Amino acid sequence: MNRVALLIEEELRNVPGIRTVLGSAGGGGFLGSVNNARYYVKLVPHEERVFSWKRLLQWPPWRAFQGNYSQRDVVTEIRKRLRKFTDLRTSIRNPQTFSIGGPNYDIDFALLGPDLESLAGYADQLRRKAPELGLIEADTTLKLDKPELRVEIDRERAAKLGVDTEDIANALRLMVGGDQKVSRFRDESVNDDYDVQLRLQEGDRNDSETIARLYVPKQGGGLVRLDNVVKIVPAKSASRIDRLDRQRQVRLRTGIAPGYAQADRIAALRAEVASMNLPPEYSDRVSGRARELETTFNEFIWAFLFSVILMYIILASQFENVVHPFTILLSLPLCVPFALFSLWVTGQTINLYSALGMLVLFGVVKKNAILQIDHTNNLRARGMERSAAILQANRDRLRPILMTTLTLIAGMLPLALGTGPGAEERRAVAVVVIGGQSLCLLLTLLVTPVAYSIFDDWGRGRFFPRNAG
């Protein structure tokens, strides 16, 4: 593993844009293993590899637009170079700005059931199908490939020789597993005590023939060679056994291929599991970031719902009318397609930032309708006929609507055009607000007067007369 790790480290150092590579072979951490290696990769500073307004001040200024590459480009190049190591399972993870719990994987899909070999088979079947499902860098947590030596005790022979199974276990624990403290050693030269540890050397404790030549005590005194009472059998087992809700589990941890979204890949995984016709005692579950993201968006849906209800209550109390708030809130569903269209055009995704931007958009997009309807009601209160009041209100409020819209867009431009570290993530907020507000401006200017007339007729009972049987 160390030799392979050095080869990969040399490969990573040759990738353009990488400044520092820190690797460790042998796993590390609580769940690490000797056949794992980890690397921390640090890129060159953000302002040196992407467009920055400061680089326009250099000469020649057009160099600010040349040779730019993002972190995603570096990740793509790393994946391309690591394909030559066909015997390795590689995974590239990006530290998240928001830590929402669970491992740092796009999808952490768990299969639960009673039998380890069956779980490993089902998970490996999903792993092989991962490229067809739009998943990359798929790996499983359950691997039945850890070599071990199993000691099978011949209990009948041990009883005849007077050897206790506890003595066999203690001998193996001391010689193979080791004892952290069998005695204390006093070093007078430094005036300090040291724990004495006992264990066979690595070459001996990994050799079945050497282990077989160990001696164990028997009842009544004397020693018996270990191979007289046990049989040492090479085997393979799981490196670790994970459990969830008192069930054994295996997790498929994978990334999402470009062009796919997390929600539809989870649905594809569940559909694939359903097509495998697992026995009833086996089940699947989404955990980690995918589950937290689903929970977060479900909570955002409730936040959107409650925000609409609160907006209606406030507008109804201000206008002292239960119909006109519907006209104002009609701008909310109109702005959603334009906000999603803005995300698509600019290459952004639906994430936590864009959801926050949608909440902001809901708060500001209805101000155009408020200006129109409030002025229309004031003109009608002065005795003006409804159609004339609507036309006059649109003419009078066009300038304030344009002023407030342009002011909002200008305030969001620094966030949309920012080039500092993390600007790509925060940009989604500005894109949603600018695109949703500006693109639906013309539509709301046309729809609001028409909706006002329709809802006013409905409120007065012209469409559904109140005396109708």
Q: What is the CATH number of the domain that holds 373?
A: 1.20.1640.10
What is the percentage of the chain residues whose pLDDT exceeds 90? 0
Instruction: Judge if 137 and 282 occupy the same domain.
Output: yes
C-alpha 415/C-alpha 397 separation (Å) is 28
C-alpha 438/C-alpha 335 separation (Å) is 9
Residue 463 has what pLDDT? 46
Instruction: Judge if 111 and 217 occupy the same domain.
Output: no
- Report pLDDT digits (tens) over 337-389: 888 888 888 877 777 778 788 888 887 888 888 888 888 888 888 888 888 88
- Confidence band of 66 (pLDDT split at 50, 70, 90): low
Query: Nearest Cα to 269, choosing from 141, 133, 136?
Result: 133
406, amino acid identity? L
Instruction: Judge if 222 and 126 occupy the same domain.
Output: no
User: Would strands 223-225 and 18-25 be described as parallel, antiparallel, or unpaired?
Assistant: unpaired
C-alpha 378/C-alpha 380 separation (Å) is 5
* Residue 30: pLDDT over 70: no
Distance of CA 213 to the CA centre of its chain: 52
Instruction: Judge if 108 and 165 occupy the same domain.
Output: no
Instruction: Please check whether residue 275 lies inside any domain of the structure.
Output: yes
* Domain assignment of residue 279, given as a range: 101-142+239-286
Total number of domains constituting the chain: 4
- Report pLDDT digits (tens) over 439-462: 777 777 888 888 888 887 776 665
Instruction: Judge if 301 and 282 occupy the same domain.
Output: no
Instruction: Please check whether residue 13 lies inside any domain of the structure.
Output: yes
Instruction: Judge if 81 and 179 occupy the same domain.
Output: no
Instruction: Please check whether residue 79 lies inside any domain of the structure.
Output: yes
267, 286, 305 — which closes off a domain?
A: 286
Instruction: Judge if 296 and 356 occupy the same domain.
Output: yes
Distance of CA 428 to the CA centre of its chain: 18
Instruction: Please check whether residue 218 lies inside any domain of the structure.
Output: yes
Query: Nearest Cα to 199, choosing from 181, 223, 212?
Result: 181
| pTM given for the model | 0.63
255, 286, 317 — which closes off a domain?
A: 286
CATH number at residue 194: 3.30.2090.10
438, amino acid identity? S
- Report pLDDT digits (tens) over 109-132: 889 999 888 888 898 889 888 888
C-alpha 442/C-alpha 414 separation (Å) is 24
Instruction: Please check whether residue 226 lies inside any domain of the structure.
Output: yes
Q: Is the dihedral of CA 437, 439, 441, 446 positive or negative?
A: negative
Distance of CA 161 to the CA centre of its chain: 59
